[in-house]
Amino acid sequence: MFPLSSENEQTAKSIVEKLKIERRERSNKLPVLSFRRLYSILNGDEKLFVKNLLNQNPKTYGFNGPFLGIEKVPLFLKKIRGQKYTREREEEEIAQQYLPFQVWLAYKKLSKAMKNEIGKEILIESGYRSPAYQVLTFLYSLVEKHKLDYEKTLNLVALPGYSQHGHPPLQAIDFTTKDGALRGEKMGFENTSEYDWLSKSANKYHFHLSYPKNNALGIRFEPWHWHYQKQN
Ligand SMILES: [Zn+2]
């Protein structure tokens, strides 16, 4: 499928235009977008494009993460509203996020402990993302951020079915700080005291760094991305 033919490039761009409309009109619902809803807003060519994308094997492109599966959106997810951060004196609100209840409870414990110990809070920049939403996240990154450079995009954004954000048994959270240091410049997260604390203490709350430096999965170091897994 990659590199995209010029026809497919046009199709990718037209899907991204539809994503922009969804963002304007239904941003709170995007993380729980179903395939049924996605296909209802796409035309025939666009649907076919998405189906082809779902059949890609990222190993072909150097991504060695496991296939986690494409499952339905869970029925019960905790809605997380009203998270605010302040950046350059401007207060901004993070769009509504979703998490499996158990993961949300674990996050609350972790966040409380961090506040007690170092006086800092940590926010959820991205929690659950359905596989259908992951399709759009991937295409947005490909078209708008990386000028259709598929190798770069595959290195930065998981294909649907390969993201821990869409797989509740290994539910991932992308954290951000109260001063919003990360938005758009995520690499800064590595140098925050919040990250330092997470490195020492997150495991106690069953959160694990998914992609450490030089990991064998072919995924860049993501200091903000932690998954929840409680060993029995
Ligand atoms: Zn992530």
Continuous segment of H or E residues that includes residue 126 = strand 122-126
Mean pLDDT per 10-residue interval, the chain, length 232 residues: 93 97 93 97 97 92 89 96 88 94 98 97 96 96 94 89 96 91 66 95 97 88 94 70
ipTM, two decimals: 0.99
- Please tell me the distance from the alpha carbon of residue 11 to that of residue 46, in angstroms, as a whole number: 6
- Please tell me the distance from the alpha carbon of residue 183 to that of residue 177, in angstroms, as a whole number: 9
- Please tell me the distance from the alpha carbon of residue 126 to that of residue 175, in angstroms, as a whole number: 7
Cβ proximity of 28 and 123 under 8 Å: no
- Among 103, 136, 118, 139, smallest CA distance to 192 is for 118
7 Cα: distance to centroid of ligand 1 (angstroms): 30
The CATH class for the domain spanning 1-71+78-232 reads: alpha beta
65 Cα: distance to centroid of ligand 1 (angstroms): 13
Helix (H, G, I), strand (E, B) or coil at 221: coil
Those residues whose beta carbon sits under 5 angstroms from the ion ligand 1 are 172, 174, 225
Neighbouring CB atoms inside 10 A of 123's CB total 21
